């Protein structure tokens, strides 16, 4: 990408994660040709040491209203309002666990950078990251009247100019209100049954090593359950809005690495 600018929006929430996350993320967004700007969203009043920032940066206070998505929305709004962005620019979003809730190695970093450099500048709205599917199959699902067969995990993802200029990172209250009936997630016309069942299982499964790592909090706190459910829907909504999804792990060798890296990380967590 010649004459491009890379904008990185990092969502900070955990005090013990933020310093290393800033270091890793700054290195990542500085790996492209052209300038790089780091935008840090402080979503929980953590202590952000600005001495760790070695490139142009902006610190913005978030409110955690819709978790990471409202935070990233603040970053998107700041970029659109304060920079003269162009079609060659790249926009990378991450949370402060992108490098700690998985075994994020130099190989993952290399694959992400390699894929991101191939984002074209045509009229398509593109999202890039680790692509996932329902039960690791490519069965189609519907969300908000649009159909896809996969989505990008939003711990670390990138979009191009046409995406960020036309789609909000936060899906908005109008869509969020469709998710519940009497404050409980329900299978309505906005979502296909296979996706609904997949998400509910992800949040409620009792199988060891399956589902969300924070699911123990959900049964005793309905509000956290609703927030997490909405966040998962928002994640899928980002890919639904894209014309094209680029999978960072799109080659046979990359998928082979991804599989064994996940197994390695799972073994480490089981020993802890």
Mapped onto helix, strand or coil, the DSSP state of residue 233 is: helix
- Average pLDDT score over residue span 64-72: 94
Report yes or no: 192 and 141 within 8 Å, Cβ to Cβ. yes
The pLDDT assigned to 8 comes to 97
Mapped onto helix, strand or coil, the DSSP state of residue 13 is: coil
For 173-187, write each residue's pLDDT tens digit: 999 999 988 788 989
* Confidence bin at 232 (pLDDT 50/70/90): very high
| Fold topology of 5-174+231-271 | Spore Coat Polysaccharide Biosynthesis Protein SpsA; Chain A (3.90.550)
Residue 200 predicted with pLDDT over 50: yes
The pLDDT assigned to 52 comes to 77
Give the position of tokens 């499964």.
205
The pLDDT assigned to 164 comes to 97
- Average pLDDT score over residue span 15-28: 94
Question: DSSP letter at 8?
Answer: E
Sequence-separated contacts (24+) of 175-181 with Cβ below 8 Å: 175/144, 175/233, 175/237, 176/66, 176/230, 176/233, 178/144, 179/229, 179/230, 179/233, 180/226
Mapped onto helix, strand or coil, the DSSP state of residue 187 is: coil
Q: How do strand 244-247 and strand 146-148 relate by DSSP bridges?
A: unpaired
For 32-59, write each residue's pLDDT tens digit: 988 999 999 999 988 888 887 888 999 9
Say whether pTM exceeds 0.85: yes
* Confidence bin at 272 (pLDDT 50/70/90): low
Domain-wise residue ranges, the chain: 5-174+231-271
Residue 210 predicted with pLDDT over 70: no
Mapped onto helix, strand or coil, the DSSP state of residue 207 is: coil
Report yes or no: 213 and 101 within 8 Å, Cβ to Cβ. yes
Alpha-carbon distance of 272 to 266, in angstroms, equals 10
Proportion of the chain above pLDDT 90, given as a percent: 70
Report yes or no: 57 and 22 within 8 Å, Cβ to Cβ. no
Mapped onto helix, strand or coil, the DSSP state of residue 251 is: coil
* Confidence bin at 1 (pLDDT 50/70/90): very low
For 120-160, write each residue's pLDDT tens digit: 666 799 999 999 999 888 899 999 999 999 999 999 999 99
């Amino acid at each position: 990408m010649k004459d491009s600018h890379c904008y990185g929006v990092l969502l900070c929430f955990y005090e013990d994660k933020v310093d290393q996350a800033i270091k890793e993320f700054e290195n990542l967004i500085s790996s492209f040709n052209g300038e790089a700007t780091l935008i840090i969203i402080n979503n929980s009043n953590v202590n952000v040491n600005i001495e760790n920032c070695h490139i142009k940066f902006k610190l913005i206070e978030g409110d955690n209203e819709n978790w990471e998505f409202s935070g990233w929305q603040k970053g998107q709004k700041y970029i659109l309002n304060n920079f003269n962005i162009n079609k060659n620019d790249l926009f990378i979003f991450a949370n402060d666990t992108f490098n700690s809730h998985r075994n994020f190695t130099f190989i993952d970093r290399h694959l992400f950078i390699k894929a991101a450099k191939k984002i074209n500048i045509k009229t398509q709205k593109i999202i890039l990251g680790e692509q996932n599917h329902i039960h690791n199959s490519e069965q189609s699902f519907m969300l908000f009247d649009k159909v896809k067969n996969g989505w990008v995990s939003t711990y670390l993802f990138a979009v191009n100019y046409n995406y960020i200029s036309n789609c909000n990172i936060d899906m908005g209250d109008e869509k969020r209100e469709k998710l519940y009936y009497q404050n409980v997630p329900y299978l309505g016309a906005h979502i296909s049954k296979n996706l609904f069942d997949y998400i509910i299982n992800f949040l409620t499964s009792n199988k060891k090593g399956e589902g969300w790592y924070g699911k123990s909090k959900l049964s005793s706190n309905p509000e956290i359950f609703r927030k997490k459910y909405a966040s998962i829907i928002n994640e899928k909504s980002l890919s639904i809005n894209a014309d094209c999804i680029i999978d960072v792990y799109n080659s046979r060798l990359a998928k082979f690495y991804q599989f064994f890296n996940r197994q390695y990380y799972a073994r480490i967590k089981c020993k802890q």
